[in-house]
Amino acid sequence: MGDKADIIRSLQASLRNAENTFGPESRQYMTCKSILDEYTATTAFEAMRIGQSGRSDHNGAASNHTSGRGKQPEEGAMQMDSQ
């Protein structure tokens, strides 16, 4: 977990440096900001998925199967249904 925090701090430092050196409207600043935004969004999404995988989702899997969208429940959910 500390590695991700270190990466975010490093990206933030790069963003500050780009802003101070080139300005907030520069291509360099915009690129650093885009990388930081994408990394933090990805990290948040992964944390959300990890949090959800720790919970039993039997009802959610069943509702996905019966939603009419044609989406099959995950393999783990199918095993839970058959027990």
Going from N- to C-terminal start, the domains of the chain cover 2-82
- In the structure, what pLDDT confidence band is assigned to residue 54 with cuts at 50, 70 and 90? low
Average pLDDT over residues 16-23: 98
pTM over cut 0.75: no
Percent of the chain residues past pLDDT 70, beyond the cut: 61
The CA angle 52-58-61, to the nearest 5 degrees, is 80
Average pLDDT over residues 35-53: 90
Q: Which of 20, 14, 5, 44 is nearest to 32 (CA)?
A: 14
